[in-house]
Amino acid sequence: MPVKTTLLLKEEVYERLIKKAGRRRLSSAVNEILEKELFKPKRSMFGVDPWLTTEGLRDEDEPHEQ
């Protein structure tokens, strides 16, 4: 459920939001920006090194080497 609130914005920020989203989409633009910042996905270390891939990973259904 949406909640009404009052935000005090710097004049430069307000003008930039109006240019980007327009007066009628101001709430949507602010919500999108806040969601991106507040709900960032957790970063994983997987894939950091180019040589590290999923290729050649052992499947648990296959028998293990002894």
Q: What single-letter DSSP state applies at residue 61? A: T
| pLDDT at residue 41, as a whole number | 77
DSSP codes of every residue in 8-55: ---HHHHHHHHHHH-GGGHHHHHHHHHHHHHTPPPP-STTSSTT--ST
What are the sequence ranges of the domains in the chain?
Answer: 7-40
Give, for all 66 residues of the chain, the pLDDT tens digit.
889 999 999 999 999 999 999 999 999 999 999 999 998 877 776 666 777 667 766 666 666 666
| CA-derived radius of gyration, the chain | 23
